[in-house]
Structure 1
Amino acid sequence: MKIKSFEFNLRELGGAMGDFGTLFPLAIGYIYVCGLDPAGFLVMMGLANIVTGLVYRLPMPIEPMKVLAVAAIAQKWTPSMIYASGFGMGLIWLLFAVTGLVERLARLTPPSVIRGIQVALGLMLAVEAAKLLSTGWFLGIISILIVLALRKNRHAPAAVVLMVLGIVVMAVKGELGNIAAPGFKLPPFTTFTFQEVWDTLLLAGFAQLPLTITNATIATAALISAYWPNKTVTVRKLSWNQGIMNTILPFLGGMPMCHGAGGLAGQYYFGARTGGANIIEGLIEIFLGLFLSASIAGLFSVFPGAIIGAMMFMVGIELMKFARDVAIGKDLIPLGTTLLVSLATNMAYGFLAGLAVHYLSPLFFRNGSIKKEGS
């Protein structure tokens, strides 16, 4: 049976909303704290989604680079610093693609370490989801039940129902009254200095690299192979994509963007199966950016956190399921090491620790067997 490249239906719409949980809080921080222009933020993200959907013909999440976003919000970067950081990361990813370095890193990374990264990400999402669920347990439990009941429903997909429920809750609370009237606004032309490019790389860009290599590139490619065995996407192609969009979009207000295994799992879990999900999401983001940019941060900030928490929690569970294909035995040791170190420190250290254990464990087992034989 031939797999369709594009579908435009409620299921794809539900999948398009599957990774909104990570977008909302970072979008609010970028706009409120750093003063990022909402029109540029959303329209550029929408364009990136549409182009990516057309190129890959698969769901392919476009997400904020999380280390950069957290650092920018915590340190109150100026908008020009944010644009500069995206451009700097784009140059690095183009370098990785041109030299083939990202492919060599992928070849060196065993499946057990990739699964460890995915399980760690799943647990981290679940923990953050629990915090959001605690803001309204009753609504959160109802939302989880809706997900379980409607996740595979083509006529009332869970994510679409939850978005409608969130709007109803906001309306009942009277939180929709402050929405400004729709008004047309184009993304601004933005500039930055090369000094800002270097400064932001030192502040957070180099720290972002291991996470982008592991989660946004290697783990995302592995997840695509798991979901669509006949539609392999190479890590080099993902590197090209991340490089191109980050060297172009910052000049029109775009934030630093990447892919992500968590976002892909969210899209798939809530129904996305084709590139249509990306196109739908992109059109929604462009509409919001062009016509509702004056209200978008306020809308994001009052959307019920418990509903987002329910979606994030189920996506976290979905990611953790991939540990099942790791063979019981010595492969569990690098997986466990990657997981524990990632949770205790960060995914970069977890990745390095898992690699070290994977490549050093044969020496340990061989030496152990030699000692046993000689005793």
Structure 2
Amino acid sequence: MTAPKNRYDLAELAGAFGDLGTLIPFVAAYISVVKMDPAGILLAFGSMMVIVGLVYRTPFPVQPMKAIGAAAITQTGALASLTAATVMGAGIVTGLIWLLLAATGMARRLTRWVPKAALLGVVMGLGFSFMLEGTRMMAQSPWLGAALLAATLVLLARSRIPAMLVLLVVGGLVAVLEQPALLSELSAIRVAPRLPSFAWPGLTLDDLWIGAIFLALPQLPLTFGNALIAITEENNRLFPDRPVTERRVAFSTGLMNLWSSAIGGIPMCHGAGGMAGHVQFGARTGGATVMLGALLLAMGLLLADSVALIFRLFPPAVLGVILFLAGVQLALASKDVGGEKIERFVVLATAALAVWNVGIAVVFGILAFHAAKRGWIGV
């Protein structure tokens, strides 16, 4: 059977923005806190999204690596050794690790140790964590967040109306009303074409070492659970006519991190929550990621110095709604758990731990499942 071709219609365009809830906050923080070049970040994301959308032909996401991002953003003032260069060093180390896992076949073999119940728990926990983070963001403007969430749910029941595009328009209007000077600042934006510089020659061995120890290695368990196991299962469940393998996902993760670090970008992965967000708002093919990638490419090449200002058009309440509904979509994927008590226990316990730490959740799920099956623990 021939896999469907990419579509470039209104539904795909609406679904393209379903992952903004993680993209915008992390990118904005990297630019403002870590002082990274927005041109490199956006060019890396844009080019990878276009390629991934054309190759996978599903709404396969390209996201910031969250553990690395959180550490870099929160500790860049506390630890003088964490700089933009160490972030790029972490990208090189991450890329090499995932290329090694793909080339040796270890990515596929490792995932075979993860039982179905543990996988479902990870997916459920990721969904919970997205919903909790979305709730926190909506809580910054509770009445607005509640109204936008209710309106979006109503629009999602009407397939002819692109809920995401309506949400973004309303969010932009709210941002302008709350920040009267924003409109005049936006009108002053001018096109300023430029390319990012090649970053590798400026990196040192210390950048690679610190990036590996403080950023890349702590990220590995999260990437393994969310951006390898969960995304592969989610893609193949939603789009069985366009399946992916763990080896292929690991390979693309490695390549895109090497490319991103080379042009001054940030570590990236394929997160299951990103696909959930794209699908929730209408995406069904790779056309969604191609269109979003093209937009980010244009911004990176022509408007890089104005990105932080443009992002102010997306209030936290809007991003919170997007994150919350992506979490709902993701958590619903765990509904097919088996009826055995031990499987229900592994799903729920793994989900609870995944809200805290996905890497620990994966390890717990594997050990608890096999230990209970052998009678080593009781529930």
Q: After TM superposition, give the deviation of residue 181 of structure 1 in Å.
A: 2.4
- 1:178 corresponds to: 185
Question: Which deviates the most, 201-210 or 70-79?
Answer: 70-79
Structure 2 residue 245 is matched with structure 1 residue 229: no
Deviation string 1:14-67 (CA, Å, 9 cap, x unpaired) is: 111000001111111100001111111111100000011111111110000111
Q: Would the aligned equivalents of 1:19 and 1:267 in 2 still touch at CA under 8 Å?
A: yes
In 1, Cα distance between the equivalents of 2:174 and 2:346? Answer: 45
Amino acid at match of 1:228: F
Deviation string 1:149-190 (CA, Å, 9 cap, x unpaired) is: 223655531111111112222222322322332322222221
In 2, Cα distance between the equivalents of 1:206 and 1:268? Answer: 30
- 1:116 corresponds to: 121
Q: Would the aligned equivalents of 1:85 and 1:200 in 2 still touch at CA under 8 Å?
A: yes
Structure 2 residue 85 is matched with structure 1 residue 80: yes
Structure 2 residue 286 is matched with structure 1 residue 275: yes
In 1, Cα distance between the equivalents of 2:117 and 2:213? Answer: 31
Three-state SS of the structure 2 residue aligned to 1:61 is coil
Structure 2 residue 46 is matched with structure 1 residue 17: no
TM-score by length of 2: 0.92
Three-state SS of the structure 1 residue aligned to 2:129 is helix
Structure 2 residue 34 is matched with structure 1 residue 34: yes
Q: Would the aligned equivalents of 1:152 and 1:271 in 2 still touch at CA under 8 Å?
A: no
- 1:102 corresponds to: 107
- 1:360 corresponds to: 371
Amino acid at match of 2:95: G
In 2, Cα distance between the equivalents of 1:25 and 1:53? Answer: 23
Structure 2 residue 337 is matched with structure 1 residue 326: yes
- 2:205 corresponds to: 194
Q: Would the aligned equivalents of 2:134 and 2:320 in 1 still touch at CA under 8 Å?
A: yes
Three-state SS of the structure 2 residue aligned to 1:208 is helix
Deviation string 1:197-223 (CA, Å, 9 cap, x unpaired) is: 121111121110011011001100000
Of 124, 143, 146 in structure 1, the residue corresponding to residue 148 of structure 2 is: 143
Runs of 4+ in 1 over 4 A off after TM superposition: 152-155
Unaligned 5+ runs, structure 2: 77-81
Amino acid at match of 2:212: L
Three-state SS of the structure 1 residue aligned to 2:197 is coil
Of 344, 347, 358 in structure 2, the residue corresponding to residue 335 of structure 1 is: 347
- 1:90 corresponds to: 95
Q: Would the aligned equivalents of 2:47 and 2:297 in 1 still touch at CA under 8 Å?
A: yes
Of 144, 156, 162 in structure 1, the residue corresponding to residue 167 of structure 2 is: 162
Deviation string 1:288-307 (CA, Å, 9 cap, x unpaired) is: 11222222113324521111
In 1, Cα distance between the equivalents of 2:370 and 2:106? Answer: 19
Percent of aligned pairs with the same residue?
35
Q: After TM superposition, give the deviation of residue 116 of structure 1 in Å.
A: 0.6
Of 276, 291, 295 in structure 1, the residue corresponding to residue 302 of structure 2 is: 291
Q: Would the aligned equivalents of 2:16 and 2:289 in 1 still touch at CA under 8 Å?
A: yes
Q: After TM superposition, give the deviation of residue 128 of structure 1 in Å.
A: 0.9
Three-state SS of the structure 2 residue aligned to 1:181 is coil
In 1, Cα distance between the equivalents of 2:215 and 2:193? Answer: 34
Amino acid at match of 1:290: L
Return closer, same or farther for 1:342/1:221 CA change in 2, 3 Å cut-off. Answer: same
In 1, Cα distance between the equivalents of 2:322 and 2:286? Answer: 21
Q: After TM superposition, give the deviation of residue 140 of structure 1 in Å.
A: 1.5
- 2:62 corresponds to: 62
Deviation string 1:232-257 (CA, Å, 9 cap, x unpaired) is: 10011000000111112211122111
Structure 2 residue 69 is matched with structure 1 residue 51: no
Amino acid at match of 2:111: A
In 1, Cα distance between the equivalents of 2:204 and 2:41? Answer: 19
Give the CA RMSD over aligned residues: 1.8
In 1, Cα distance between the equivalents of 2:312 and 2:176? Answer: 14
Q: After TM superposition, give the deviation of residue 2 of structure 1 in Å.
A: 6.0
In 2, Cα distance between the equivalents of 1:353 and 1:241? Answer: 27
Three-state SS of the structure 2 residue aligned to 1:340 is helix
Structure 2 residue 209 is matched with structure 1 residue 204: no
Q: Would the aligned equivalents of 2:3 and 2:242 in 1 still touch at CA under 8 Å?
A: no
In 2, Cα distance between the equivalents of 1:334 and 1:138? Answer: 37
Return closer, same or farther for 1:207/1:181 CA change in 2, 3 Å cut-off. Answer: same
In 1, Cα distance between the equivalents of 2:123 and 2:184? Answer: 41
